[in-house]
Structure 1
């Protein structure tokens, strides 16, 4: 257990990989700015306190069954989490407040149940948005529901969303569900409880999303703190995501990368939640092989519907790619993207992956699956122009063509690579003294201290 070193903050992440990582990175940033940290986490995807000796931990029993905790049904999981966690969170919060003063609560925006509980204790609540600002602009545009966009109609998929350029209807942050009203309810609650918070923390930076941040500042009356990229606040060897990984990482792939020339390897990872069909899996395999470029491919257990791991691959496939292809169950992604051998990242465009790729100047092949990934992919390909999107699903010919275009340096591919390197530099500058994220972090620290002082005077 840590020694109390400054005002105490309570942080509560949404218990899925892509949300745990940035919350723990934020905890580390705030701890380095003289705050004491307590992490409140659920029994589902429970964290290991021994990995973070400088934090305190409090586990709440969420009461979610094994069926309900299946993140393959993300919508139902979110609803159950925000229902079942209210009582145990309230009990936990009451106990912690009885032991010592707390400056504020910082919760994931999707843990919207925390707002009313915090209010009942007069505890200030800040929100961490683990998605980008651009996708949150789309999330907040709830008026779209009355304009025929939700539920999405197949006949309108290619239509432009005039209120949200450059998005088309197909780029809206939706999930596949037969209950669109429930999805709308989750969005509504998340957005409204964010609006009633006392500030929003973003894992992004001004130069990347200045327009979207400005739009949100007009829509919300709460302060905004874009202090990202979170993972770049610390040296590469201080890797919070390794400690918080829910799947063991294969470190042998780094040794494999060391044997390859600079910018020669295609890295493929579709994140911790996405799933694909057997047919799509085989198209990816054939496209990678036919491209004639070395590839490092993350195939998460359960990625392919109905299979445990690599069973759908043709007999002899793994043996035939030896030396040119390497397949792992999970990988240390930040270390991989920073490796000189990586020339291209084929990604699902989760925000963490997108931002990590931008920070290393690695061009992207975009293959979004749901929610904010769709918005991120559109921005990567049509606003920041540091990647290309697979628009026609997973077809081996298009996969091969796209890899070759970005890896073999035609004019468009070179322009994409040049823009990616420019964004990498901007991401580096924002964290330096006087940079936008550095200044925003200073404002955040001052804001939290002002909340603590207000709390003290009110009590």
Structure 2
């Protein structure tokens, strides 16, 4: 009997941050379900955190074709690797990790695994394309940020030439932006990504993002975590740069739709870098339908003590129940805890539940949650859309600025609170979302959740695009 040929071997390399990794782990599991072999590469720093906060290996135990490997990011153990240090992480990956990656790719076959058929790398890691072309392996990029922000990045050369990024704090930040086609009627200067100091065109993050319009088309295709029905107009513009798009999102919901109810328990399937506190689910079980405002600013955003106190007063003063994620590192230092007044403490005891981290997808799917005060990270935005939960957006940096504007003005799924951190504004926005315009926002959010669900069903746009991606990877193996 003839031996069955080995399946394609896909090598996945995410940007080493929580959001991009979540998306790529979901993609890896989807490809495992399609019978592909996967090598998933993380940095040693990330690997250590995964082992501390979750048993990631248990998630993939049922997939013999999956292996998790680690590589040095070239930074010292005590490097913070947080938001403002992003460029240092990127520079070190390009300088120190690139040669290690090349060696790993050249020696990745053996036993029951064929040589690498295809690389799927985060599209901001341009050096991965250099390595792929040097050794002759096809590469597909995956951009885990929002398409609307990616399109702004592609337009950065025009924005710079037109002087629309030469800003200072005295400029009219509500002036409409003219050089991002398709957004001329609603995108304001204040909605553009924040690159370091206002007006600093030499900012390294800005220059890195500017390269994406030239970098991303180098790959054979571009995977996006969205669905055609949500981002269709923007996707048509992106296709002028990258014609071969695979829109296969929302990935977390796509994976859930593929898995059987008998699959591993929810708690063991997490890839969170923080320990999840599941006690919040019991607390939610005791709350009435759509009565709780859920608050989380993601895994990177930080607050000042003053901002924390303003949010706290605003939430307590609404009179609504609230579930709030306050990460251990969300405020520098610990002395802020001693500054919580008696009235805040009492108000929280009556109406609030505060934890260090939560299983967010499950929280947003809980019937007690009626609104989400969010930093507008793309994963959080998609999880809120799939949960049918309207949003109040308080963006922190990069794509979050653009996302929040699309939530309020394009998709009509909530309110944009950017550039404001005042207890009265917080209180009024929560009341508007949860009370004054509750029916309007709830109806729109539930409608969009149904659209997202349909795109994942047999014949839906994301369902078909995933199968096209798998078929294209299999064709690479045949051509090998």
Fold conserved (TM > 0.5)? yes
C-alpha deviations, 1:69-123, integer Å up to 9, x for none?
5213223333333332111111211211577322100011122221101111100
Partner of 1:125: 139
**390-399 or 279-288: bigger deviation:** 390-399
Which of 225, 232, 242 does residue 246 from structure 2 map onto?
Answer: 225
Match of 2:353, SS state, is: strand
1:59 alignment partner in structure 2: 70
TM-superposition CA deviations, 1:335-361 (whole Å, max 9, x none): 000000000000000000000000111
Matched, 1:26 2:27: yes
TM-score (normalizing by structure 2):
0.89
Closer, same or farther: CA 219–86 of 1 in aligned 2, 3 Å: same
Distance 1:276 1:241 in 2: 30
Q: Which piece of structure 1 moves more, 295-304 or 156-165?
A: 156-165
1:8–1:392 distance in 2 versus 1, CA, 3 Å: closer
1:116 is matched with: 130
Partner of 1:106 in structure 2?
120
Deviation of 1:184 (Å):
2.7
Indicate how the Cα distance of structure 1 residues 230 and 352 shifts in structure 2: closer, same or farther if over 3 A, else same. same
Note if contact 2:313-2:344 (Cα within 8 Å) is conserved in structure 1. no
Map Cα deviations across residues 264-292 of structure 1 (whole Å, 9 max, x no partner): 00000000000111111000000000000
State the Cα distance separating 1:193 from its structure 2 match: 2.5
**Do residues 335 (structure 1) and 362 (structure 2) align?**
yes
The separation in 2 between residues aligned to 1:400 and 1:432, in whole angstroms, is 39
Residue 17 of structure 2 corresponds to residue 16 of structure 1: yes
Aligned partners of 1:247 and 1:378: how far apart in 2?
28
Distance in 2 (CA, whole Å) between partners of 1:66 and 1:190 is 29
Equivalent residues, number:
450
Q: Which residue of 1 aligns with 2:462?
A: 437
Q: How does 1:315-334 map to 2 (within 5 A)?
A: 315=342, 317-334=344-361
> Offset at 1:156?
3.8
Q: Which residue of 1 aligns with 2:175?
A: 159
* Residue 355 of structure 1: aligned partner: 382
What does 1:352-431 align with in structure 2 at a 5 Å threshold? 352-408=379-435, 410=436, 412-431=437-456
Q: Tell me, which stretches of 5 or more residues in structure 2 are unaligned?
A: none
Q: Deviations over 1:153-183 (max 9, x none)?
A: 3214221112332211111122334864212
Matches within 5 A, 1:47-196: 47-48=50-51, 50-51=57-58, 52-53=60-61, 54=63, 55-66=66-77, 68-73=79-84, 74-97=86-109, 100-142=114-156, 143-154=158-169, 155-164=171-180, 165=183, 166-177=186-197, 180-181=201-202, 182-196=204-218
Contact 1:127 1:199 survives alignment (8 Å)? yes
Contact 2:45 2:77 in 1 (8 A): no
Are 2:227 and 1:205 aligned?
Answer: yes
CA contact (8 A) 2:98 2:128 kept: yes
Shift in Å at residue 149 of structure 1? 2.5
Q: Does 1:234 align with 2:248?
A: no
**Cα separation, 1, equivalents of 2:325 and 2:454:** 31
CA positional deviation for 1:188: 3.2
SS in 2 for 1:15: coil
Who is 1:448 aligned against?
473
**8 A Cα contact 2:10 2:36, kept in partner:** yes
Q: Alignment partner of 2:177: what SS?
A: coil
95-104 or 436-445: which moved more?
A: 95-104
Q: Distance in 1 between matches of 2:83 and 2:312?
A: 23
Once the two structures are overlaid, the 10-residue window that deviates more, 5-14 or 177-186, is: 177-186
Contact 2:292 2:371 in 1 (8 A): yes
Relative to structure 1, the CA distance from residue 430 to residue 447 in structure 2 (aligned partners, 3 Å threshold; closer, same or farther) is: same
CA contact (8 A) 1:68 1:77 kept: no
**What does residue range 166-315 of structure 1 map to in structure 2 within 5 Å?**
166-177=186-197, 180-181=201-202, 182-221=204-243, 223-235=244-256, 239=266, 243-307=270-334, 310-315=337-342
* 1:286-309 superposed Cα distances (whole Å, 9 cap, x missing partner): 000000000000001111234477
Shift in CA distance, 414/204, structure 1 to aligned 2, threshold 3 Å? same
Contact 2:316–2:347 (Cα < 8 Å) also in 1:
no
Q: Distance in 2 between matches of 1:126 and 1:311?
A: 50
CA offset at residue 59 of structure 1? 1.2
C-alpha separation in 2, matches of 1:378 and 1:310: 33
Q: Is 2:296–2:326's contact at 8 Å kept on the other side of the alignment?
A: yes
Cα 1:241–1:227, aligned 2, differ >3 Å: closer, same or farther? farther
**Is the alpha carbon distance of 1:5 and 1:24 closer, same or farther for their aligned partners in structure 2, counting shifts above 3 Å?**
farther
8 Å contact from structure 1 (residues 267, 297) kept in 2: yes
